[in-house]
Structure 1
């Protein structure tokens, strides 16, 4: 299975293009995650919000590697895709049924409190609208 559908890749790239001129400013956009990737055979969850338009292999994501502290930063899609089980199949999969219910800031706050990604936020943590 491909990590991203074409529609997800395009949305992540569009988000990255919108974010690029605002990166590092107080005007940064708070996108809802576009896709959830996970390690089907162990620890590891990533909620991707955007791609770097100059380097579209690099995604901005909330990453939880199962060590008790999720972190927002960049991750290489090709490195995730290269992670293989000893029998040769991909370790990282896309959650086909997951859909974001809040902007990434809500997932970051919830993960800081819980020590891991909370991928189904309770209603009180969801804002009225997301980008």
Structure 2
């Protein structure tokens, strides 16, 4: 659970709440379309992730953009995101100034049309 030290505690709590609320609704028409809770980015590159929910083990759901022009919705490991070794000893970072303006699916639609996440 090393990845948890990279996310503000209140945001981590909300990610887990969203995950727990969503699980019984997955695959139904009642599934929630949350606003992303956190934006994670590569401070020296183009990768960006908008995460709306996460379990206690670090399995997250969100919008991933590796900077190659094909953002996609899906599951990702928070351990994987934060294990990336960047130049100069840097790591991926949470954008503490990020304030969502739309739901995750709206960000995904926009990202598909532009070829990248705009957030």
How many Å separate the matches in 1 of 2:25 and 2:34? 13
User: More helix per residue: 1 or 2?
Assistant: 2
Q: In the alignment, what sits opposite 1:123? A: none
Equivalent residues in 2 for 1:1-131 (5 A)?
Answer: 2-52=5-55, 56-90=57-91, 92-119=92-119
In our comparison, the structure showing a higher alpha carbon Rg is 1
How many Å separate the matches in 2 of 1:73 and 1:105? 11
Runs of 4+ deviating beyond 3 Å: none
Superposed displacement of residue 102, structure 1: 1.1
How many Å separate the matches in 2 of 1:113 and 1:82? 30
Cα RMSD over matched residues?
Answer: 1.3
Superposed displacement of residue 25, structure 1: 1.3
Checking the alignment, whether the CA contact within 8 Å between 1:43 and 1:65 is kept in structure 2 is: yes
Checking the alignment, whether the CA contact within 8 Å between 1:3 and 1:37 is kept in structure 2 is: no
The superposition leaves residues 30-65 of structure 1 with CA deviations (integer Å, 9 ceiling, x where unpaired) of: 10000100011112000000013xx53111010000
For structure 2, the residue ranges without an aligned partner over 5 or more in a row are: none
For structure 1, the residue ranges without an aligned partner over 5 or more in a row are: 120-131
Please give the secondary structure, in 2, of the residue aligned with 1:56.
coil
Q: TM-score of the superposition, structure 2-length normalised?
A: 0.90
How many Å separate the matches in 2 of 1:11 and 1:37? 15
